[in-house]
A and B are shown apart, each in its own frame.
Chain A
């Protein structure tokens, strides 16, 4: 049992996680009318936070990425035996850092692209609070602490969608909130059950991973079921995904990007970090169900994409398909599969985040995302058109770009699932999942062909000569259409670079994750008789 911990520099995680609150505190005392100042504080705060993240990357001991580092374990709520236990290993490091970078870039993007409802003060405060919740979820090593951070994320996102969202924001935000709450309730019940079943001694991950494996198989299955629903809603897995298209479509661009890049990963991370190692036998019993639902999600999400007429909704549905690959990898319980899932989580965050950025900018320029009205973007905005093409290619899993390394190893791993899982079933799942890559190519290229190729829709063509006497020249539709702005370049370039770098040299991430994943799978194997 390799649970050695490293406690060097252990102030880093606490500072990195709670630093955004300093910015929040500062902004409380500045009137909302000073919008520029708020944006500046937001950018500076998240930049400093990201700098702490960079420092964390530098101080991380890559030779021991399977052990928890920067480890802190101090008393918190002793009455329920919950401690403030935090730490970072190869599994959580990429996600922790990703959350910081994404928040910074979204903050930069906000400089020029405040959603219509205005009030940057509240908007930025919410984003900073959101960042605390996200980073906290990835460092928590105690179930109650994790649950608190997990729930902290919910409220800011609810308000971001509900206040700054699109036309049906009320419906979407409420649906998001209630759906996730429903999952959380079951998850909490499962957490408590696990706590009591292991003798009510501690909520620490390390303890539960050791003691949880000893629980009776049937009990494990029931507890796993509760966690399954909680995490599956967050991922989201078919059939718990219906909140996602609405939330994504209605959310402001910033909300969509954060939602896709980080929030969904809380669910998959929960499976890898909590549900599977703590309940190995439950995981094994549930693995085929997860695998089947994952593959249904791949095909079903792709079909959903093909039926869309709205660009943003299409991208939202593609998340269902992509997270299906992630869950398929996890459900094999193999090193290959879980590595692929973790890689896929980061890759999906970067790529789908990028796609949502592009969708936001298209909406900003054309005031519509109706695919049938968009056309010839490559003529009107060549650079934006190229970026869309690049992100689409990355999204469909082109080797050499990040998406491939989440997708192909996941498919590969299904050929040989671990721990005596039904090989025949998984091989069928593998082939169906591979067919899903064809559908991914279909909906993404189809989207690209219709929006980027061809000639611009005359409706938006500012340069098109209006026939004389065509009469009323209503407000000029094409007036806002311009290519990528400098602020957009600053916010997007790191995404674009990361997609290429991780695609060309995936070892950068596999090297960090693999030892931790191997240790995890070994621990799971030890718990399965």
Chain B
């Protein structure tokens, strides 16, 4: 079979080591970390470095595999299509999708079983997982390096690294998950670690509340994950078992969804449930409220959470089992679907909130929410590849932005994150931080030739290409808003006059400490460290190399990562390596699953590529007998500068407008808009509406949580104590009263009287013992009968 001639290699076959190594590293940190000279961080760094090395090896081998698949395809199809692929794989076709089907590297071991069916744990390595494995290990490594400086001296330094390492392990488990249960495992490990990391400084009630909120909100979404997995499992299982797999397997689910045999309503409801999980995890509207609060955690945590892990998990889930959504939501066939609605609302709603934040990290948090909205929108409009590419580029520049914000707080504003109070004019004092910030901001805003432009513009372009005109405009407006709020944040932080700590004022001067500030104060060690730190350098200064080096690396990637798939300059590497081919392939039933062996569902490339739009191919027509599809066949919009022009113009407009307003409102000069919110009622109410985050938190915490936690729980407990238990106690008491009455009136007078009388009679007749014994038997019988009667009454009650 052809698939067997694909190139593979040690790194691809053993990619499962990538999550395992940090998991073991976590155990080492927990058990031996405190005794190590570097407090256990060496285990974290070492395990992340090892995982990164394997991920790099796996990536190289994956690229070789893709190339070998293309050349195999050429041989297989002979001269008919050979010439068309002469340029493959290095350049790809115009508007291109990678042509040949590349068999993922799947391995599985038995994990559990039920009803005779064995379910596995293993690896499923395709372009998407390779991309994320590389991304997650790389970013985790940089964040850990950064953290050795940023949290040095913290009292829970060891625990911090333990949680950080386990967190990466969780994400990696999820990324290479072979099946849904494994995906849930990684998903929930991340939830746990986010709880530990956001609440890292748990001495302060605000931090532990934020940690609780994050875990709890995501958990609400997880109901969808559990239900959705169950729905899809039972939908796909029979189909999959026939083909030697099972209904948890991601390959089987994808193939089943595109087989044309799947019930549409099962796919729809399964998709809705899974998407609810994605809403919770990826901070989509209306469950986004935990994300800004999660800024209570240390900055490296925020950067890791918001770039490549945790919040992209929801996007990853949708991208991973994309056929379920593609078919279930009729993507491309309907003008609007759940994913586009939620994604679209999130883009605008979160961007609007970013305008009213004073905390630099919260601006970035809302920006993340908004960018996740873009990724979701991309998936919703059928732009799978641009959405996944946006995960990739966004990870670099968002991580850089958070780390830059951390650098500002570490060395520039004395642990404050308040842009209005403690920042301003830092560009001169912190040139490296400021430069990397501005490069990353340019990437985030989608300024041409920075990475964000190539990914975000593709999403917007494809929305229009696939007929989602309304969401094309949503995307454009979102882009302008992004440019505007980032300009505002940049101005407040790095330009204008220095204020507060940035002006060198000592932090004791302003006693109204912020959360993060207060949290730092909670750590005597940490604060002591920084006090002498500041004794040496008075006022703001540039951060040390362990902070700036990751910044520089990430900022350069914020520029260059975009060129992996820059249609403007004609590169398609990312498309070739990551996008699954939407072609029907022959199902090979011969192989059977054994431990550690290649998965049963093995396929050989067969069908030729169909040309000509969306009328045919995977996801549109039922695959022929004996063939299956793994991914819908999607076309890509062709890039043209003329099509990119509207977004470029809007972004430029956003930047200029915001710069002009920021200088006016926050600068020294008098400006008509200054103090608008205190003069105009409408402006004030609008501002309050945004500051209060659309009052969603009031609804969740003030109404729902309060109702469940207090009146409803209290009422349930009251019923328990007074009604259910009242019945029990009442039965007990009346039983006792009955017993006493029986004893006094029946036993002592009637029965005993009778017994005595009969005894008297008996003794007279000379047969003393006989009647007494039979009397006892009667009593026992009566007792049993009584018990049965009570039981019957209860049963009748229950039966109703």
Chain A contact residues, CB within 8 Å of chain B? 175, 178-179, 182, 185-186, 189, 222, 225-226, 228-229, 239, 242-243, 289, 300, 303-308, 334-336, 339-340, 376, 378-379, 393, 398-400, 404-405, 408-409, 411-412, 414-416, 430-431, 434-435, 437-439, 441-442, 445-446, 449, 452-455, 505-507, 510-511, 514-515, 517-518, 521
Contacts and interface: CB of A to CB of B under 8 A. Distances in A.
Interface string B108-141: 0011111110000000000000000000000000
Interface stretch (B183-191, B625-633, B686-694): B183-191
B112 A435 contact: no
A182 B215 CA distance: 43
Interface in B715-730: 716-717, 720, 724-725, 728
Contact of B112 (A175, A189, A507, A521): A507
A303 B712 contact: yes
Contact of A441 (B110, B219, B714): B219
Contacts of B115: 334-336, 339, 514, 517-518, 521
B717 A453 contact: no
A415 B199 CA distance: 36
Nearest to A181: B787
Contacts of B116: 335, 514-515, 518
B181 to A, nearest CB: 8
A439 to B, nearest CB: 8
Given A304-B720, A412-B233, A507-B111, A449 B226 contact: no
B502 interface: no
B666 interface: no
Given A229-B794, A454-B205, A306 B732 contact: no
A517 B116 CA distance: 10
A81 to B, nearest CB: 20
Contacts of B192: 393, 398
B791 interface: yes
Given A399-B184, A400-B189, A453-B202, A185 B112 contact: no
Contacts of B714: 307
Interface of B: 110-116, 181, 184-185, 187-189, 192, 195, 199, 202-203, 205, 208-209, 211-212, 215-216, 219-220, 222-223, 226-227, 229-231, 233-234, 705, 708-709, 712-714, 716-717, 720, 724-725, 728, 732, 784, 787-788, 790-791, 794-795, 798-799
B113 A514 contact: yes
B223 A399 contact: no
A510 B795 contact: no
A339 B709 contact: no
B191 to A, nearest CB: 8
A415 B791 contact: no
22 contacts: A178-B732, A189-B791, A242-B724, A303-B716, A307-B714, A307-B717, A336-B114, A378-B202, A398-B189, A399-B189, A408-B226, A411-B226, A412-B229, A414-B230, A415-B233, A431-B223, A438-B222, A439-B708, A449-B212, A453-B205, A515-B116, A521-B115
Given A416-B234, A454-B202, A442 B114 contact: no
A201 B714 CA distance: 52
A179 B717 contact: no
A242 B231 CA distance: 35
A446 B202 contact: no
Given A189-B787, A412-B233, A434 B713 contact: no
Contacts of B216: 438, 441-442, 445
Contact of A229 (B114, B705, B724, B791): B791
Given A242-B728, A399-B189, A437-B219, 14 more contacts: A189-B791, A222-B795, A336-B114, A399-B188, A412-B229, A415-B231, A416-B234, A434-B223, A442-B216, A445-B195, A452-B202, A453-B202, A518-B115, A521-B115
Given A242-B720, A507-B112, A510-B114, A186 B728 contact: no
Nearest to A445: B212
A453 B185 contact: no
Nearest to B791: A186
Nearest to B787: A185
Given A393-B192, A441-B216, A225 B114 contact: no
Contacts of B227: 411, 430-431, 434
Nearest 10 A/B pairs, CB to CB: A335-B115, A307-B717, A306-B713, A303-B716, A453-B202, A453-B208, A186-B791, A399-B185, A307-B713, A185-B787
A510 B230 CA distance: 19
Nearest to A508: B112
A308 B714 CA distance: 9
A412 B708 CA distance: 25
A432 to B, nearest CB: 10
A306 B208 contact: no
B732 A335 contact: no
Contacts of A430: 227, 230
A445 B113 CA distance: 31
Contacts of B112: 405, 506-507, 510
Contacts, number: 167
Given A175-B728, A441-B219, A289 B113 contact: no
B303 to A, nearest CB: 24
Nearest to B110: A507
Contact of A415 (B211, B234, B799): B234
A399 B216 CA distance: 16
Contacts of B791: 182, 185-186, 189, 226, 229
A398 B794 CA distance: 38
A101 B205 CA distance: 40
A405 B119 CA distance: 13
Contacts of B111: 505-507
B258 to A, nearest CB: 22
A207 B267 CA distance: 46
A179 B731 CA distance: 10
A416 B114 CA distance: 14
B798 A289 contact: yes
A442 B213 CA distance: 10
Contacts of A189: 784, 787-788, 791
- Name the residue in A307, A408, A415 with the highest tally of chain B Cβ atoms < 10 Å from its Cβ: A307
Contacts of A511: 113
Contacts of B709: 306, 442, 446
A225 B795 contact: yes
Nearest to A408: B226
- Name the residue in B111, B115, B705, B790 with the highest tally of chain A Cβ atoms < 10 Å from its Cβ: B115
A449 B798 contact: no
Contact of A175 (B712, B732, B794): B732
B223 A455 contact: no
B188 A398 contact: yes
A366 to B, nearest CB: 19
A305 to B, nearest CB: 8
Contacts of A455: 203
A442 B709 CA distance: 9
Contacts of A435: 223
Nearest to B182: A399
A226 B724 CA distance: 20
A494 B220 CA distance: 32
Contacts of A242: 720, 724-725, 728
A300 B716 contact: yes
Nearest to A414: B230
Contacts of B205: 453-454
- Name the residue in B229, B717, B788 with the highest tally of chain A Cβ atoms < 10 Å from its Cβ: B717
A514 B713 CA distance: 38
Contacts of B203: 376, 379, 453-455
A439 B724 CA distance: 22
Given A445-B215, A449-B212, A514-B116, A434 B795 contact: no
Contacts of A515: 116
A518 B118 CA distance: 13
Contacts of A243: 728
B289 to A, nearest CB: 16
B29 to A, nearest CB: 13
B222 A437 contact: yes
